[in-house]
Amino acid sequence: MALLNRIFGRSESSGKVASERLRKVVVQDRANVSPQTMDQMRTQVLNKLAEYMEVDEKNSSITISANEGSVNLVANIPIRRMKRGKH
């Protein structure tokens, strides 16, 4: 049956299906970052940004959101003022 399906192009091979499912689930697993790591990352990102602009740290948020196969870093960082010259 699997062979027939493949001949008529009806379904992918199960090995490919496995590898695609695995890729997605591993990305999701790795996106489950510990609060400490998340905090550290947030500080580092904000410090780096501070070289270019003045940001509102108190009202900034950086999160990782995972849904249906895609994982995104969502950053909401209000800029108070851009710095001059460095860019």
Partner 1 sequence: MGEVVVVTSGKGGVGKTTAVANLGVGLATLGKKKVALVDTDIGLRNLDVVMGLENRIVYDLVDVVEGTCRLRQALIKDKRYEGLYLMPAAQTRDKNAVTPEQMRKLCADLRSEFDYVLIDCPAGIEQGFRNAVAGAQRAIVVTTPEVSAVRDADRIIGLMEADELDDIKLIVNRMRMHMVKRGDMMDLEDIREILSVPVIGVVPEDEVIVVSTNRGEPAILEGKARASQAYQNITRRLMGEEVPLMPLEARNGMVGALRRLIGLDKA
Binding site for partner 1 (CB under 8 A): 2, 6, 13-16, 18-19, 21-23, 25-26, 29-30
For partner 1, the closer CB: 2 or 79: 2
Amino acid of residue 26: V
Going from the C-alpha of 70 to that of each of 67, 75, 86, the distances in angstroms are 6, 16, 34
Alpha-helical regions (H) of 1-87? 2-7, 14-31, 35-49
Query: Cβ of residue 12: shortest distance to partner 1, in angstroms?
Result: 8
Judged by CB, which is closer to partner 1: 23, or 83?
A: 23
